[in-house]
């Protein structure tokens, strides 16, 4: 089976009607890059940098971070690396950074909220990422954005970091693209406003499902209610893609939904430009993609959006997949 999937490595991620989808990898360590390339990944769509902050008594300094990002960028070249700034809090706890004992950690000082409260730490990371952008194609994005004011504050800090690097004569990519995770319902509802502020969206379906359905993503007693095909989730995904494309920017998914072959026809039909997943999922997703027709997938989505429950959507999807793929 593995060998059969390997043959997909060098085939283009393209539908029968010629639509090219970007299939990328979610990674934490540069050691994962050979496997990502071996599975046909055309870049890193989500580099989770929080891994650098776990198990250390103090946040890593600029050189340590720069070296990590540089290693990743060089390993992935000539393909792009999409680096996400620190996303701790909620279910990702770093003893030295998180505020102790929040009653609702998932709704607490996490991700970009923490970075904006600790500009000392955030600026070090921005500088390290910018410096790494001199070495290859780098995109930068920010987790848990809930509104326009937040991303504008982020951009102001980023501009300060760039100005400082210019003054020092330190190289970075002046055209570096920035994006945001769409993983909070407010960001979905104002996706049109957010789309004017950035170069791309990346949907974090793990958190978007959690927050949209009010289902703790780590609570096993509620796992039956954690439904990626819930009509509210599907409508949210549609709003995000439509807002992105209306503004002329790309819409990506880097949550677990992207790596489920079963969901591929839906994500294709909704119009996503890029899917980022665990390396081992890429061949299976590509296999289905290469049998899909984008125009047909769009019709499938139109039908899928008419159903009232996740179970109805799933049954419909399974019968379609059995019949056509």
Q: Is 320 helix (H, G, I), strand (E, B) or coil?
A: helix
Shortest Å distance, C-beta 143 to Mg ion: 6
Q: How far apart are CA 203 and CA 206, in angstroms?
A: 9
> Under the criterion CB under 6 A, does residue 228 sit at the interface with ligand PEP?
no
Name the residue nearer to ligand PEP (CB basis): 39 or 110.
110
Among ligand PEP, Mg ion, none, the one that 135 touches (CB under a kind-dependent 5 to 8 A) is none
> Under the criterion CB under 6 A, does residue 98 sit at the interface with ligand PEP?
no
Q: Are strands 81-84 and 138-142 parallel, antiparallel or unpaired?
A: parallel
Name the residue nearer to ligand PEP (CB basis): 130 or 184.
184
Taking CB under 6 A as the rule, which mask of x and - marks residues 164-203 in contact with ligand PEP? Answer: -------------------x--------------------
Using CB under 6 A, which of 205, 212, 236, 281 touches ligand PEP?
205
The secondary structure element, H or E, covering residue 148 is helix 148-168
What residues are paired with 23 via a beta bridge?
A: 275
Residue given tokens 């792009």 in the structure block:
80
Q: Return the sign of the alpha-carbon dihedral for residues 151, 157, 162, 163.
A: positive
**b (16+ CB within 10 A) / e for 19-51:** bebbbbbbbeebebbeebbebbbbbbbbbbbbe
Q: How far apart are CA 248 and CA 17, in angstroms?
A: 22
Taking CB under 6 A as the rule, which mask of x and - marks residues 244-283 in contact with ligand PEP? Answer: ----------xx----------------------------
Per the rule left: phi > 0, alpha: psi between -120 and 50, beta: everything else, 201 is beta
Name the residue nearer to ligand PEP (CB basis): 49 or 293.
49
Q: Is 266 helix (H, G, I), strand (E, B) or coil?
A: helix
Name the residue nearer to Mg ion (CB basis): 146 or 293.
146
Residues in the chain: 325
The Cβ-side half-sphere exposure at 302, using a 13 Å CA radius, reads 6
> Under the criterion CB under 6 A, does residue 45 sit at the interface with ligand PEP?
no
> Under the criterion CB under 6 A, does residue 207 sit at the interface with ligand PEP?
yes
Name the residue nearer to ligand PEP (CB basis): 65 or 276.
276
Shortest Å distance, C-beta 253 to ligand PEP: 8
Residue 272 near residue 253 (C-beta atoms within 8 A): yes
Q: How far apart are CA 291 and CA 19, in angstroms?
A: 11
**Which of 115-123, 157-165, 205-213, 287-295 is the region at the interface with ligand PEP (rule: CB under 6 A)?**
205-213
Residue 154 near residue 114 (C-beta atoms within 8 A): no
Using CB under 6 A, which of 43, 80, 204, 228 touches ligand PEP?
204
Shortest Å distance, C-beta 83 to ligand PEP: 13
Contacts to Mg ion by CB under 5 A: 183, 204, 207
Among Mg ion, ligand PEP, none, the one that 255 touches (CB under a kind-dependent 5 to 8 A) is ligand PEP
Binding site for ligand PEP (CB under 6 A): 46, 48, 87, 183, 204-207, 254-255
């Amino acid at each position: 089976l593995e060998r059969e999937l390997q043959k997909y490595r060098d085939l283009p991620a393209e539908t029968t009607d010629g639509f090219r989808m970007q299939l990328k990898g979610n990674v934490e360590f540069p050691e994962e890059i050979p496997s990502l390339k071996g599975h046909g990944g055309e870049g890193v769509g989500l580099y989770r940098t929080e891994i650098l902050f776990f198990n250390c008594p103090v946040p890593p300094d600029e050189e340590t971070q720069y070296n990590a990002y540089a290693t990743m960028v060089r390993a992935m070249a000539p393909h792009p690396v999409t680096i996400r700034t620190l996303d701790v809090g909620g279910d990702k706890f770093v003893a030295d950074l998180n505020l102790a004992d929040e009653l609702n950690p998932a709704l607490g000082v996490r991700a970009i909220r923490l970075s904006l409260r600790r500009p000392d730490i955030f600026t070090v990371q921005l500088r390290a990422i910018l410096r790494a952008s001199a070495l290859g194609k780098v995109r930068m994005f920010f987790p848990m954005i809930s509104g326009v004011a937040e991303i504008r504050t982020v951009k102001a800090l980023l501009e300060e970091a760039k100005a400082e690097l210019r003054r020092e004569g330190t190289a970075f990519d002046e055209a570096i693209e920035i994006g945001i995770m769409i993983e909070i319902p407010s960001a979905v509802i104002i996706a049109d406003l957010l789309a004017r502020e950035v170069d791309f969206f990346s949907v974090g379906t793990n958190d978007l499902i959690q927050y949209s359905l009010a289902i703790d993503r780590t609570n096993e007693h509620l796992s039956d209610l954690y439904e990626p095909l819930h009509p509210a989730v599907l409508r949210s995904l549609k709003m995000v893609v439509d807002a992105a494309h209306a503004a002329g920017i790309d819409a990506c998914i880097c949550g677990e939904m992207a790596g489920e072959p079963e969901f591929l026809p839906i994500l294709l039909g909704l119009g996503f430009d890029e899917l980022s997943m665990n390396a081992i999922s890429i061949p299976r997703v590509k296999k289905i993609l290469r049998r899909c027709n984008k125009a047909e997938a769009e019709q499938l989505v139109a039908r899928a959006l008419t159903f009232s429950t996740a179970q109805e959507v799933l049954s419909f999807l399974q019968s379609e997949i059995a019949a056509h793929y």
